[in-house]
């Protein structure tokens, strides 16, 4: 399954060395763990956080509490100013959201934190969760069948598409290239993810049967493609990741 891809990445020597370095730096200090129950439990198995660190508290938002060390307490974000800690160790992969919440709730002079997951791994985890949530393993074969004999352009060469391209076999899709509005402005970049790179202005001339939106946000891009480039054509626009109508509505 795709989750094995993420599991592989966190077992890389680079990640292991980074985590051990952070743990060494925090040894002897009072540490508050901030993340989620499942994520902390998995990391604790691998790196023995509970035994190597002086954990004085947990802030595990929207999760049941994990098994605590003696003398460790559970806190909400609003209670952290009264918590006993020297550093917050962020063990969740969605650390940007956690940091924003901490900055809103914790006094500046008390807010010292370390993050276990670097930006690449955080993005991988978020995109992985998105693909699994939307059953991409099951919907991709159906899409490939639908596109048989059709000429396709992918739209969007960001980290989500790069993850899909690395893990999934897209060779059965007759893709003539990839469109990326931002990256196509770089004159030195001619290819992306093994596909020839184009700008949106090239779509009409290339005349594909479909433009496949390969990003998490769909509605805004669909509207831009249709009204700015494809309104007077027969080119169809569909998403690479099939989602429920409700999730698209929530996207706004």
DSSP string across 89-123: EE--S-HHHHHHHHHHHS-GGG--EEESS-HHHHH
Which DSSP helix (H) or strand (E) runs through 3?
Answer: helix 3-10
Go through 126-138 and write b for each residue having 16 or more CB atoms within 10 A of its CB, e for each that does not. bbbebbeebebee
Q: For the segment 148-172, what is each residue's pLDDT rounded down to a tens digit?
A: 999 999 999 888 998 899 888 999 9
Mode of pairing for the β-strands spanning 195-198 and 191-192: antiparallel
137-251 adopts what CATH topology? Rossmann fold (3.40.50)
The tokens 């690449």 sit on which residue? Answer: 120
Higher pLDDT, 36 or 50: 50
Residue 36 has pLDDT above 50, yes or no: yes
- What's the pLDDT at 96? 80
Which DSSP helix (H) or strand (E) runs through 212?
Answer: strand 210-213
- What's the pLDDT at 145? 96
Residue 65 has pLDDT above 50, yes or no: no
Residues 6 or more apart in contact with residue 183 via CB below 8 angstroms: 157, 189, 192, 197
**How are strands ordered across the β-sheet holding 73-74?**
73-74, 54-60, 30-35, 87-90, 113-115
Q: For the segment 167-210, what is each residue's pLDDT rounded down to a tens digit?
A: 889 999 999 999 998 877 776 778 888 999 999 999 999 999 99
- What's the pLDDT at 4? 64
DSSP letter assigned to residue 203: H
Domain residue limits, the chain:
3-125, 137-251
Residue 28 has pLDDT above 50, yes or no: yes
**Fold match between domain 3-125 and domain 137-251:** yes
For domain 3-125, the CATH class is alpha beta
Are the C-beta atoms of residues 199 and 184 closer than 8 Å to each other?
Answer: yes
Q: Among 53-57, 100-104, 168-172, 200-204, name the one with the lowest average pLDDT.
A: 100-104
Are the C-beta atoms of residues 246 and 218 closer than 8 Å to each other?
Answer: no
Question: Cα-flanking dihedrals φ and ψ of residue 240, to 5°?
Answer: -70, -40
Q: Secondary structure of the chain: what % helix, strand, coil (to 5)?
A: 50, 20, 35
In which band, very low, low, confident or very high, does the pLDDT at 123 lie, cut at 50, 70 and 90?
confident
């Amino acid at each position: 399954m795709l989750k094995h891809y993420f599991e592989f990445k966190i077992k890389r020597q680079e990640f292991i060395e980074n985590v051990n370095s952070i743990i060494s730096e925090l040894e002897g200090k009072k540490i508050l763990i901030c993340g989620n129950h499942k994520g902390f439990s998995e990391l604790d198995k691998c790196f023995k956080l509970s035994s190597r660190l002086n954990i004085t508290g947990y802030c595990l938002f929207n999760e049941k509490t994990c098994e605590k060390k003696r003398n460790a307490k559970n806190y909400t974000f609003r209670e952290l100013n009264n918590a006993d800690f020297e550093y917050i160790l962020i063990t969740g992969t969605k650390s940007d959201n956690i940091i924003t919440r901490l900055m809103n709730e914790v006094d500046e002079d008390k807010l010292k934190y370390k993050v276990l997951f670097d930006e690449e791994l955080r993005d991988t985890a978020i995109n992985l969760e998105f693909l699994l949530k939307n059953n991409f393993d099951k919907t991709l074969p159906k899409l490939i069948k639908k596109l048989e004999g059709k000429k396709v352009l992918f739209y969007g060469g960001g980290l989500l598409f790069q993850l899909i391209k690395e893990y999934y076999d897209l060779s059965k899709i007759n893709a003539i290239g990839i469109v990326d509005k931002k990256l196509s402005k770089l004159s030195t970049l001619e290819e992306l993810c093994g596909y020839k790179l184009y700008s949106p202005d090239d779509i009409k001339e290339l005349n594909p049967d479909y433009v496949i939106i390969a990003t998490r946000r769909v509605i805004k891009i669909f509207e831009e493609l249709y009204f700015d480039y494809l309104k007077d054509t027969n080119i169809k626009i569909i998403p690479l990741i099939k989602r429920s109508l409700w999730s698209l509505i929530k996207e706004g």
